[in-house]
Amino acid sequence: MGRTRTTWKTGETSLHDRKPKRLSEKHLALITQLASRGCREMDIHRAVDMSAPTWIAYKREHPECAAALAAGQQALHDRLVADLLRMSKKGNVIPALFLLKSRFQYDDRPQGSPETAVHVQIVLPAPMDAVAYARTLEAEGAPALPAPGKAKHER
């Protein structure tokens, strides 16, 4: 029978009895390579056979893993910037700008500019009494309202 999520290797009694995962230099090089190609962390932790919670904890507890990931992301960033410069010299900057904005949260709008802030203003008229409201309706040609307290209910 093949190994599944609920079966373990011979001699293991639970997942907690496993030896802690250790990444070799080969794994660290793979992490850097995949990150430099723009792979998501979800794909990277699957490539080194780790679950998402293990991956998050491993990065936090092992600086060499976080450094390998950061090195790959930096290589990708540097390549995108170089591509942006090369393409801008040819007059085509849109694709590289999109990648920089979406991947590295670049923002070409200055902080605090009207484009970055949302302004909503709702202006309401001052309250009117019933007599003034009735005059306004009459001036606009709307049917007159019955006097307060004298409304008839039709059934």
The per-residue pLDDT for 74 is: 95
The per-residue pLDDT for 13 is: 46
- Give 70's Cβ-side CA count (13 Å radius): 8
The per-residue pLDDT for 3 is: 46
Rounded to whole angstroms, how far apart are CA atoms 37 and 43? Answer: 11
The per-residue pLDDT for 119 is: 74
The per-residue pLDDT for 130 is: 83
The per-residue pLDDT for 148 is: 62
Rounded to whole angstroms, how far apart are CA atoms 75 and 90? Answer: 23
The per-residue pLDDT for 112 is: 67
If the chain, 155 residues long, is cut into consecutive pieces of 10 residues, what is the mean pLDDT of each piece? 48 50 89 94 92 92 94 93 82 78 76 68 82 83 66 56
The per-residue pLDDT for 4 is: 46
> For 141, left (φ over 0), alpha (ψ -120 to 50), or beta?
left
All domains of the chain, ordered by start, with CATH?
20-104 (1.10.10)
